[in-house]
Amino acid sequence: MKHLFACWGMGLALCISSTASADETVIGYIKTITDQTTIDESAGPIKASLGSPVHVGNVIKTDQNGAAGLTLKDNTILSIGPNTELKIEAYQFEPQQDKLQLNASLLKGTLHYISGVIAKLKPEAVTVKTPTGVIAVRGTRFLVKIEE
């Protein structure tokens, strides 16, 4: 009986350890959503829903009536409008080790950005690329629209 308990305990520890490392790759969550929104992952697109996790490399896409709001671990808020594609290129939020970075690409559509902790601690670590240039964040919020 003691042996079984020890094996079960080790299995639980492995399970917890595995879950914790998987959660480290989550950089934020979908907090608001309307109409059709998808998250393109390496395995292919999935339909987004409230609470869907967001990872580095994901492309969040909305349809002609869609909109979505993402909140990242550092409390950065990214709100996207209809016909938008936003890719999260890089993200690091480890303030104790001074590892701070947020790089995103607005491929098309609209983005309303509200700064989180990364931009407050290290503004030069935040950039948003567009098809025609790069936005270096030096304030707390901005709105950008890519015309088609």
pLDDT of residue 42: 84
pLDDT, tens digit, 9 for 90 and up, residues 52-81: 999 999 999 999 999 999 999 999 999 999
Question: What tokens were used for 83?
Answer: 């016909």
Q: What is the arithmetic mean of pLDDT over 135-142?
A: 83
A 10 A CB-CB count for 57 gives 15
> Where does the chain have alpha helices with state H?
2-23, 117-121
Task: Give how many domains the chain has, as a whole number.
Answer: 1
Q: Which residues of 85-120 are buried (b: 16+ CB within 10 A; e: fewer)?
A: bbbbeebbbeeeeeebbbbbbbeebbbbbebbebbe
CB 118 within 8 A of CB 94: no
pLDDT, tens digit, 9 for 90 and up, residues 78-107: 999 999 999 999 999 999 999 999 999 999
Q: How many CA atoms lie within 13 A of 105 on its CB side?
A: 10
Phi, psi of 66 (to 5 degrees): -85, 165
d(CA 26, CA 58): 11
pLDDT exceeds cutoff 80 at 142: yes
Question: What is the domain range of residue 6?
Answer: 2-146
CB within 8 Å of 10: residues ≥ 6 apart: none
pLDDT of residue 61: 97
